[in-house]
Amino acid sequence: MPFFKEFTHHHSRIFVWKFDEIDTLPPDLIEPENFSRFENYKEKKLSEVLMVRQLLQNFLPGEKILYQNDEPFLQSRKFQISISHSFPFAALAFSEQRIGIDLESFKPKIIRVKDKFIQPEEQHFIPENQSVEYLTVVWSVKESLYKMHHSKYWSLKKHYEVRPFAFSDEMQISCRVHDADFSDEYSAKVWVFDNVVLSLTF
């Protein structure tokens, strides 16, 4: 099942692919400039890379994804892009402005690592009976913020904050990146489908 879903929000479009065993993803979808980056990837991880390339060719034929400081960009610079995978899903976003996206599956094990990324203020609005759902959304929003923001702070707990929200299939969430010298405010559009969460920050 190649193309799966499309999401739009303001000037951003996100295309999602859901892997199917019958999918044919030719290795030559990978740009020659990126062969060394992906040559040692295992089959599942390589499939995620190829799904993104197939999405790109479906909607911008002939375009290339290149990397600078490990950040992906289009060779033409026609749009800003962001990429995420959570097998069997892969997503590619295009926008006229800088964005970040993240795909995460809902898994109970996130409860064990919550202290690595949850601030005390965030813990206060997370209900016990939906902790997996809320924690996954918070994690996903913070990951998308990390991809978008120039600071690239390593601590999702210390420098990335998600404001209170009510969990649903579609959410608009306030968030920020901050340290002692600045506080940059952002919004996240979040969708839930097929046991995954997709976050777009802008």
When the pLDDT of each residue in the chain is averaged and rounded to a whole number, the result is: 95
Q: What is the pLDDT of residues 25-72, one digit of tens each?
A: 999 999 999 999 999 999 999 999 999 999 999 999 999 999 999 999
* Domain identity same for 24 and 75: yes
**Is this model's pTM higher than 0.85 or not?**
yes
**Domain end call among 97, 112, 128:** 97
Residue 152 CB neighbour total at 10 angstroms: 12
The domain boundary residue, chosen from 43, 77, 97: 97
| Pairing verdict, β 170-178 and 160-162 | antiparallel
Q: 88 and 136, same structural domain? A: no
Q: What's the CA gap between 16 and 85, in Å, rounded?
A: 9
| Other CB atoms within 10 Å distance of the CB of residue 141 | 32
- Give the residue numbers spanning the domain of 48: 3-97
The predicted-structure confidence for 100-119, as pLDDT tens digits, reads as follows 999 999 999 999 999 999 99
CATH code, 56: 3.90.470.20
Q: Cα–Cα distance between 143 and 5 in angstroms, integer?
A: 21
Place of tokens 């790109």: 56
Query: Is 196 in contact with 104 (CB distance < 8 Å)?
Result: yes
